[in-house]
Amino acid sequence: MEKIPILRMGEFLLVTIQVDMHDRLAMGLQEDLTQMISDTEARGVLIDISSLEIVDSFIGRMLGNIAAMSRVLDAQTVVVGMQPAVAITLVELGLSLAGVRTALNVDAGMDLLRSAVKGSSDQYGASLN
């Protein structure tokens, strides 16, 4: 079966979506990522959508679900690289992507992940005291 590859980089998982996904492929990614976060105890997920030419409500829902599920598993999700035309269209479609963190590019996304993960472990440490 066709799959979107998930790369492991230390405590983070990296996904680069490079194809126009049919819906089942998107659902598969959601399931695979959840499984992988749990298996590897990853602290963050970075999803690069710079190759995506559109984000419709189905992909939007998938991104929201991934963010929500990773939160439950104590990992942060950042979506990076959304094309400007996609962003404009998304707003008109009415997709808010509430709960999904975004960054302009992979570098900025990695910075955001690192500080978010650091922030959440500081918080955890503080609550133990």
Partner 1 sequence: MALLSTENLPIKAEIDVVAVRRRVRELATKLGFTLVDQTKIVTAASELARNTMIYGGGGSMQAETLNGPRTGLRLIFKDNGPGIPDIELALRDGFTTGSGLGLGLGGTRRLVNEFEISSRIGAGTTVTITRWK
56 binds partner 1 (CB under 8 A): yes
* DSSP annotation of 50: T
Q: Which two tokens stand for residue 10?
A: 């230390």
Which element (helix H / strand E) includes 113? helix 106-128
Residues 6+ apart with CB under 8 A from 21: 4, 29, 59
Provide, rounded to whole angstroms, the least separation between the CB of residue 75 and partner 1.
23
28 binds partner 1 (CB under 8 A): no
Tell me the residue type at 21: M
Provide, rounded to whole angstroms, the least separation between the CB of residue 68 and partner 1.
13
> Of 11, 50, 61, 74, which one interacts with partner 1 (CB under 8 A)?
61
> Of 36, 73, 86, 116, which one interacts with partner 1 (CB under 8 A)?
86
60 binds partner 1 (CB under 8 A): yes
53 binds partner 1 (CB under 8 A): yes
Distance from C-alpha of 55 to C-alpha of 69, rounded to nearest angstrom: 20
Q: Are 87 and 93 in contact (CB under 8 A)?
A: no
Question: Which parts of this chain interact with partner 1 (CB under 8 A)?
Answer: 20, 22-24, 53-58, 60-61, 83, 85-86, 88-89, 92-95
